[in-house]
């Protein structure tokens, strides 16, 4: 998939959703695994790769460095990493997908130098990388910033004990991918514990890395001299799964999230059960059965295994049509409430104050013209449109394509009335 032009999605309320929706591999895992392919020469094969814009852009970034990225068949990505690459990530590509900052650690570890354009802010606020840089400095890197470009250098990184101020996903990943080739042992304390980090660690171990404790707050990495290319099948995308879960909760019906891992979505499943949804593991994935009307519950985001901030727009859209009043608290990205104004345009009764929102549920919303500001906000507006009278027209829907493959097709297959214009 290449750049997608701006587009609009039109949603109408329809019958309850029915069927099985296949869940793709996790966006937030594959982007990091692609960064990890810079660590070793050879051919890598990744399976269960979602066909989304962010993956295409990350592929472009690897190609700009002199690597080759092919998609021989649906769901498979083959990466060829030659002996010599250009360890540089230019502004045009970093700006498209800020996740590309995670090339900094592996490039530095493998090439001794990395030049990466500074990522800017996001639609939900600033995206600082101070923790990434402090951790790499603790491993012995010298970092300079000039003209919007970061330059990190180190002849050979050395293991260190790193205590992160906050369990940042990106800082944990950058440190992990730098430490695998460092001399000696690195310990990351207060590490992020997301399933995508475990997936990255498993991939690195297949490449020959020595890592213990991924998925816990203390990760120990014993540096090795060299890594080799490897194959890997990605974990399913828990946020994509949560999106179809929310769509079912809002539209009503019974849907199986095919291939989803209930154990990666523990708290979310408990939360939606309090809202009256039945969401239980089954042989095919997770079976979701919606109630007649959702019940309001309070929601508060936290690092994994807490409720993911990426679930929140979907939960707010669901609470907007639930019975009762809910307080929603955002603890990860303070500014992540921009989509609330769009939901209010659809008749939702939501008031925000700092990092809190009070959501008073309504029986139905009212279709309106709204705008997607980011991936999850866009998906949440489409979900809200499933219970809004008339037509909901979501502009800037290209944001949704950054993180969801065949979004319209998958929803339509479940019986939703959704089309791209």
333 in contact with ligand EPU (CB under 6 A): yes
The 10 Å CB-count burial string (b at 16+, else e) for 116-151 is bbebeeeebeeeebebbbbbbebbbbebeeeeebbb
Structure tokens at 418: 């959704």
What is the distance between the alpha carbons of residues 51 and 20, in angstroms, rounded to a whole number? 19
Tell me which of 15, 47, 68, 166 binds ligand EPU, using CB under 6 A. Answer: 166
392 in contact with ligand EPU (CB under 6 A): no
Q: Which is nearer to ligand EPU, 193 or 287 (CB)?
A: 193
* DSSP, residue by residue, 355-409: TEEEEE--S-EE--EEE--SHHHHHHHHHHHTTEES-EEEE-THHHHTT-TTHHH
Q: C-beta of 170: minimal distance to ligand EPU in Å?
A: 3
Q: C-beta of 125: minimal distance to ligand EPU in Å?
A: 7
Tell me which of 11, 24, 28, 81 binds ligand EPU, using CB under 6 A. Answer: 28
Structure tokens at 176: 């992990």
309 in contact with ligand EPU (CB under 6 A): yes
Site track 231-270 with ligand EPU (rule: CB under 6 A), x = hit: ----------------------------------------
Q: Where does residue 111 fall: left (phi above 0), alpha (psi -120 to 50 degrees), or beta otherwise? A: alpha
Tell me which of 178, 230, 308, 365 binds ligand EPU, using CB under 6 A. Answer: 308
Sheet holding 42-47, edge to edge: 68-70, 76-81, 42-47, 231-233
48 in contact with ligand EPU (CB under 6 A): no
Q: Is the dihedral of CA 191, 192, 193, 197 positive or negative?
A: negative
Tell me which of 34, 36, 49, 99 binds ligand EPU, using CB under 6 A. Answer: 99
**Nearest-CB residue for ligand EPU:** 170
* DSSP, residue by residue, 321-349: TSBSEEEEE--S-TTTTTHHHHHHHTT-E
What is the distance between the alpha carbons of residues 137 and 174, in angstroms, rounded to a whole number? 12
Which 356-385 positions form the footprint of ligand EPU (CB under 6 A)? 375-376
Tell me which of 31, 197, 326, 381 binds ligand EPU, using CB under 6 A. Answer: 31
318 in contact with ligand EPU (CB under 6 A): no
Q: C-beta of 196: minimal distance to ligand EPU in Å?
A: 6
Task: Assign 24 to helix, strand or coil.
Answer: coil
Q: Which is nearer to ligand EPU, 50 or 170 (CB)?
A: 170
Q: Which is nearer to ligand EPU, 15 or 335 (CB)?
A: 335
100 in contact with ligand EPU (CB under 6 A): no
Q: C-beta of 254: minimal distance to ligand EPU in Å?
A: 27
122 flagged as catalytic:
yes
- Binding residues for ligand EPU, rule CB under 6 A, total 24
Q: Which is nearer to ligand EPU, 290 or 394 (CB)?
A: 394
What is the distance between the alpha carbons of residues 256 and 359, in angstroms, rounded to a whole number? 28
What is the distance between the alpha carbons of residues 56 and 398, in angstroms, rounded to a whole number? 14
171 in contact with ligand EPU (CB under 6 A): yes
Q: How far is CA 222 from the centre of its chain?
A: 28
91 in contact with ligand EPU (CB under 6 A): no
Which 112-151 positions form the footprint of ligand EPU (CB under 6 A)? 127-132
Tell me which of 37, 48, 117, 168 binds ligand EPU, using CB under 6 A. Answer: 168
Task: Assign 180 to helix, strand or coil.
Answer: coil
Q: Which is nearer to ligand EPU, 177 or 192 (CB)?
A: 192
- The H or E element containing residue 288 is strand 285-289
What is the distance between the alpha carbons of residues 140 and 138, in angstroms, rounded to a whole number? 5
Tell me which of 62, 103, 169, 414 binds ligand EPU, using CB under 6 A. Answer: 169
CA-to-CA separations, 419 to 9, 177, 240, 302, in angstroms, rounded: 6, 41, 19, 34
CA-to-CA separations, 167 to 153, 197, 215, 336, 369, in angstroms, rounded: 25, 11, 11, 18, 37
Which 187-226 positions form the footprint of ligand EPU (CB under 6 A)? 192
Which 396-415 positions form the footprint of ligand EPU (CB under 6 A)? 403
Of these residues, 51, 80, 122, 323, which one is catalytic? 122
Give the interface with ligand EPU as residue ranges (CB under 6 A): 27-28, 31, 99, 127-132, 166, 168-171, 192, 308-310, 332-333, 375-376, 403
Return the active site residues. 122
């Amino acid at each position: 998939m290449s750049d997608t032009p701006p587009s609009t999605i039109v949603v109408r309320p329809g019958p309850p959703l029915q069927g099985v929706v296949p869940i793709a591999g996790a966006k937030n895992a594959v982007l990091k695994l692609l960064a990890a392919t810079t660590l070793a020469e050879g051919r890598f094969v990744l399976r269960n790769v979602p066909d989304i814009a962010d993956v295409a852009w990350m592929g472009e970034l690897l190609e700009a460095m002199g690597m080759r990225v092919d998609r021989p068949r649906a769901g498979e990505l083959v990466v060829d990493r030659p002996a010599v690459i250009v360890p540089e990530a230019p502004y045009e590509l970093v700006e498209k997908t800020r996740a590309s900052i995670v090339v900094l650690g592996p490039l530095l570890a493998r090439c001794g130098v990395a030049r990466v354009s500074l990522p800017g802010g996001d639609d939900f606020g600033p995206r600082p990388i101070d923790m990434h840089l402090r951790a790499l400095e603790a491993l012995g890197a010298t970092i300079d910033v000039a003209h919007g470009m970061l330059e990190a250098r180190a002849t050979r990184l050395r293991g260190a004990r790193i205590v992160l101020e906050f369990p940042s996903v990106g800082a944990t990943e950058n440190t992990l991918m730098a430490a695998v080739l460092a001399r000696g042992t690195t310990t990351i304390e207060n590490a992020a514990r997301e399933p995508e980090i475990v997936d990255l660690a498993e991939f690195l171990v297949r490449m020959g890395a020595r890592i213990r404790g991924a998925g816990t707050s203390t990760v120990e990495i014993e540096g090795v001299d060299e890594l080799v290319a490897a194959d890997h099948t990605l974990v399913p995308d828990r946020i994509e799964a949560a999106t179809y879960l929310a769509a079912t909760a809002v539209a009503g019906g019974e849907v199986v999230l095919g291939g989803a891992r209930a154990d990666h979505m523990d708290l979310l499943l408990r939360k939606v059960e309090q809202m009256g949804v039945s969401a239980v593991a089954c042989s095919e994935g997770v079976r979701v059965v919606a109630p007649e009307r959702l019940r309001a519950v309070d929601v508060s985001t936290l690092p994994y295994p807490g409720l993911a901030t990426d679930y929140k727009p979907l939960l707010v859209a669901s609470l907007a049509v639930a019975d009762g009043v809910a307080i929603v608290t955002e603890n990860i990205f303070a500014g992540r409430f921009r989509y609330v104004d769009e939901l209010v345009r659809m008749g939702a009764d939501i008031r925000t104050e700092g990092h809190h929102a009070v959501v008073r549920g309504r029986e139905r919303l009212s279709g309106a013209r709204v705008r997607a500001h980011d991936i999850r906000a866009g998906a949440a507006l489409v979900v809200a449109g499933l219970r809004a009278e008339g037509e909901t027209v979501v502009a800037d829907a290209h944001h949704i394509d950054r993180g969801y493959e065949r979004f319209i097709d998958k929803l339509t297959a479940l019986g939703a009335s959704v089309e791209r214009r």
